[in-house]
Amino acid sequence: MTHRRLSRSLDPLDDETLVGFLLRLARHNGTTPAQIASRMGLMDEMSAAPGVVSPWLLADMDKPRLVRAARAADLTVAEAGKLLLAPMGHRYGLVSHLYRPWTSPQQLGRPNRWVFMRTSQYCPPCLAGDDGPLGRLYGGAWKRAWRLPVVFACSRHQQLLSRTCPKCRAPAQFAPNGLIARPGTEDLHPTQCRATSPAPQTGTGRRSVCGTDLASVRSLRALGDEDSLGMLLALQHRLDTLLSSDGPQRVNSCGQLVPVAQYFIDLRVVATLVLASWPEASGFAATRALAQAIGREAEQRLRDSRRRTSGASKRPYGINSLLSPLESPLTMGAVLGIAERILDGREKQWTRMAVGPLYGSALALHRDTFLELARLPGTSSALQEVLGVAKGPADSSSPEPYIRGPRNG
């Protein structure tokens, strides 16, 4: 099938997702996201849900489809590829084909992948766009980085990210079916909430679209103390540097320099152990307020984790509550801060003493689950050695000892 080029196109914004690009293109052409997706060859006509854009196209697509989509939108193949999450794998190992191999984008939706495939975080000032004519018309980018749990704050605007619509409470950009909610609706701005309104229309009994402008919602800045916010923003700046294409290639983990992509896998493992063993790691929290925030969410998740399936299964039904990213950007940042501090240890012995009680508590909670987590593909040999599960180097390159720099004293 031949797909005609769109009559009008746009240049992708920096770090823009495929979803955001489709929404802006639809607005620019005065049509629906569904029509744009069809013209770009993104519809799954032969699937169980024909005419729906697969949500997994956000992560990756085969080369022929990518070429067709690029041609229809008047993009280069390289520009189209940068709208997807898969290319981020060279820095963020949890979506990496090398360190965490996956054969289908659907696998990225599993809890242990730590990527938001069906929803997005957002920064309202970023969504508002710049002062240029296109920014005023269509707003800013829905960023790829907002799909990563390790991005919980906006360094540019010095505030925490938001995850839900303040009016309807639906997760941002959640679509019950497909890539985009209400793909056949033409009159929604790219920054508007596309979820169904919780209140029915007066006199009709039917519920309409929420329509809240997410670029105008109140920013999540206040934490009750500036020290906590400062700690979180400093952490986000360091993580942003590691995710940047021009950032360092290697970083310390457990006293050894490892590829950045592997470091994020290590960070994910230790962050999960922090949550599963809480309050074992409470002494590592940067502030009392951050420790309290972790405690509130850990209590609920630990309670959920103990629910079991019916029948003969002995696996806790809710164990995924401990493997999934945290709901609150505040709590996510607080847990990552502790994990970073533990991994930043100068020597393996210190890290072993720090993480040992956490790992022991997690194993007591559910041994098989956390043994599997400790052996997560892509985890650095340094962390595997600390956890006592190393069978050989996880990284084929020669390990380098880490010599702590001036920043860490």
pLDDT digits (tens, 9 = 90+) for 128-167: 999 889 999 999 999 999 999 999 999 999 999 999 999 9
Q: Nearest to residue 301, comparing CAs of 385, 362, 253?
A: 362
Residue with tokens 């820095």: 91
Residue 395 is predicted with a pLDDT of 46
| 241 falls within a domain | yes
Residues 209 and 243 in one domain: no
> Can you tell me the distance from the alpha carbon of 256 to that of 250, in angstroms, rounded to the nearest whole number?
9
* 3 state DSSP class of 119: coil
Question: For residue 46, what are the β-bridge partners?
Answer: none
Residues 270 and 322 in one domain: yes
Residues 212 and 235 in one domain: no
**CB neighbours of 405 closer than 8 A, spacing ≥ 6?**
none
Residues 115 and 172 in one domain: yes
Residue 131 is predicted with a pLDDT of 84
Tens-digit pLDDT string for the chain (409 aa): 556 789 999 999 999 999 999 999 999 999 999 999 999 999 876 555 556 889 999 999 999 999 999 999 999 999 999 999 999 999 999 999 898 888 887 888 887 789 999 999 999 999 999 988 999 999 999 999 999 999 999 999 999 999 999 999 999 999 988 999 999 999 999 999 999 987 765 555 567 899 999 999 987 655 568 999 999 999 999 999 999 999 999 999 999 999 999 999 999 999 999 999 999 999 999 999 999 999 999 999 988 887 754 444 455 557 888 899 998 999 999 999 999 999 999 888 999 999 999 999 999 998 999 999 999 999 999 999 999 998 644 443 444 544 444 333 3
Residues 303 and 343 in one domain: yes
387 φ, ψ to 5°?
-85, -5
- The full length of the chain comes to 409
| 332 falls within a domain | yes
Number of domains in the chain: 2
379 φ, ψ to 5°?
-60, 140
Residues 120 and 258 in one domain: no
- Tokens, residue 322: 């401990």
| 62 falls within a domain | yes
> Can you tell me the distance from the alpha carbon of 29 to that of 9, in angstroms, rounded to the nearest whole number?
8
Residue 113 is predicted with a pLDDT of 85
Residue 403 is predicted with a pLDDT of 42
For CA atoms 267, 271, 273, 274, give the dihedral sign: positive
| 125 falls within a domain | yes
> Can you tell me the distance from the alpha carbon of 151 to that of 123, in angstroms, rounded to the nearest whole number?
11
Q: Range of 177's domain?
A: 18-182+190-198+205-216
> Can you tell me the distance from the alpha carbon of 77 to that of 70, in angstroms, rounded to the nearest whole number?
6
